[in-house]
Structure 1
Amino acid sequence: MDADPYAAERPNRRPASTHTWPAGRRIPALGEDSSWQGIPFQIRRMGPEQLPFVVAEHLKYFPDGFFARLGPSFLTAYCRTYLSSPHAAAYIAERDGEPVGFLVGVVAPEAHRRHVLEVHRRKLLVCAAAGLAVRPRLTTHFLRTRLPRYCRKLLPGRPADQAAAGPRGTTAVLAHVAVVEHARSRGIGDALIDRFVEDAADAGCARVSLVTALGDDGAGPYYERRGWVYRGETRTPDGRQLATYDLPLPLGLGTETR
């Protein structure tokens, strides 16, 4: 999906696994050993040392996003915003000490947007300008489809979205989830999603939202099997059609799963 630092980009590729955790299974704590089909792995908070892996996998599995097209330097700066923001979540999945998957998301979108503007705006602007300078066709596309909207979001004093009024009722956004090819179908993608859903519930969010591509490239059936609810379709400035899904979060979900 068309994305910027103030509204997280969502996954537009099929998730790595179609397995679901058994009903009533406790979600393992961060860093705790987990396994699926006998394959051990761990879910940890993402650190700066994992950014090269995350950026490489992002470029591999989400190459059509506007931020990915700006190049690795901008994408690294963009992914770093998830590490410093108290309103975002970033996880890495490891097997035998090696990263095999990641997930990034936002539990308070408006508060995260403000954090990005206050802390990362200069770096993102510099990296974006450098990326556009060597990509004239992308620059033309940016000027035609995105410049006015981005300028409005960069203006100081922009009124806060209603979601910033309080945690209850806020919609968390699952931005990206990916698992390397050789580690797929082992429940790692499910574990990453479950971890984010639990943390969103613990933060008081009422639901989690994402978008995925329509058609065979999308993951709609996967999310529907996991209880996500189809909410409609959108079209990006690039003409891609996306389906929106929500997962309602009952009060207390985060504590009930432990």
Structure 2
Amino acid sequence: MSAGGEIEVGPATEDDLRRTAALHVAELPHGLFPRLGEGFVRRWHRAHLESEYGVVLVARRGGDVVGFLLGTTDRPANVAWILGRRRRELMTAGLRALLTRPALALGFVRTRGPRYARRLLGRAAVPARVASRGDVPEAGFGPIAVLEAIVVAPEARGASAGTALSEEFLSIVAAAGGDRVELITKAGARGAAGFYERAGWRRVGSHVDRDGDEVHTYRIDPRFVRTR
């Protein structure tokens, strides 16, 4: 699909991943994975590209990638797929990155170590929702789709690339039979709450994440979103 005759959105290819990883680290540095560096993020994006439950979209202008979206049509199934097929690769890449980042490694051990260890060893159940803590209400929906990241390069902002990416993702989820999409965004100026609220997303909860920041959880039913 296109936005204003300039932005075209479609599935990412392997050749796009170096650019999507660079954008992710530079423009959305929140959380652990971006701080592990572009090499790790590129592997994370590739795992989504290869998974039948993963979605990686790119926005192009003049042939250049100026934005991307990372998501999944079924979060628990996608996490299980990645752990079943890419666990060793991601664990090795993550450990290598931590060894060259002592301060990050210390914070990882303190805030995330036990949980990640249990998951990588296959001893932890995959959470059923985006937020592991907080007041997000549950309901009798089907599999939970998650918009994990959406990034637009500074030079392409204002051209509706973010809107085109999110609408295409919601169309993919709806076509897959999904009836709920969730996301988490930072509260305040560091997040994108205004963007999602204008697009019809509903805030359903808030909590403090493992980095000590307040974050909001948003939800939308993709079946009732009108796309261009």
TM-score (norm: length of structure 2): 0.88
Equivalents in 1 of 2:35, 2:123: separation in Å?
A: 29
**Paired AA for residue 150 in structure 1:** Y
Query: How has the CA–CA distance of structure 1 residues 162 and 51 changed in structure 2, closer, same or farther, with 3 Å as cutoff?
Result: closer
State the Cα distance separating 1:257 from its structure 2 match.
Answer: 5.5
**Of 197, 205, 217, which aligns to 2:178?**
205
Counterpart of 1:79 in structure 2 is: 45
CA offsets per residue over residues 70-118 of structure 1, 9 Å max, x none? 1222111111111100001111111111111111101111111111112
State the Cα distance separating 1:181 from its structure 2 match.
Answer: 1.5
State the Cα distance separating 1:216 from its structure 2 match.
Answer: 2.1
State the Cα distance separating 1:143 from its structure 2 match.
Answer: 1.0
Do the aligned partners of 2:167 and 2:227 also contact (CA within 8 Å) in 1? no
Do the aligned partners of 2:119 and 2:125 also contact (CA within 8 Å) in 1? no
State the Cα distance separating 1:217 from its structure 2 match.
Answer: 2.2
TM-score (norm: length of structure 1): 0.78
Say yes or no: does 1:148 pair with 2:114: yes
Q: Where do residues 227-242 of structure 1 align in structure 2 (5 Å cutoff)?
A: 227-242=200-215
Q: Which has the higher contact order (CA 8 A, sep 6+)?
A: 1
Say yes or no: does 1:35 pair with 2:10: no
CA offsets per residue over residues 123-156 of structure 1, 9 Å max, x none? 1011111111111111111111111111221233
Report the 3-state secondary structure (helix = DSSP H, G, I; strand = E; otherwise coil) of the residue aligned with 2:82.
Answer: helix
State the Cα distance separating 1:249 from its structure 2 match.
Answer: 3.3
Report the 3-state secondary structure (helix = DSSP H, G, I; strand = E; otherwise coil) of the residue aligned with 2:200.
Answer: coil
State the Cα distance separating 1:204 from its structure 2 match.
Answer: 1.3
Counterpart of 1:14 in structure 2 is: none
**Of 148, 153, 160, which aligns to 1:187?**
160
Equivalents in 2 of 1:77, 1:184: separation in Å?
A: 26
Counterpart of 2:17 in structure 1 is: 51
Report the 3-state secondary structure (helix = DSSP H, G, I; strand = E; otherwise coil) of the residue aligned with 1:178.
Answer: strand
**Paired AA for residue 44 in structure 2:** Y
Unaligned runs of 5+ in 1: 1-27, 29-33
CA RMSD of aligned residues (A): 2.0
In percent, how many aligned pairs have the same letter? Answer: 34
Counterpart of 2:151 in structure 1 is: 178
**Paired AA for residue 133 in structure 1:** L
Aligned residues: 217
Query: How has the CA–CA distance of structure 1 residues 229 and 182 changed in structure 2, closer, same or farther, with 3 Å as cutoff?
Result: same
Report the 3-state secondary structure (helix = DSSP H, G, I; strand = E; otherwise coil) of the residue aligned with 1:239.
Answer: coil
Equivalents in 2 of 1:110, 1:68: separation in Å?
A: 21
Query: How has the CA–CA distance of structure 1 residues 205 and 138 changed in structure 2, closer, same or farther, with 3 Å as cutoff?
Result: same
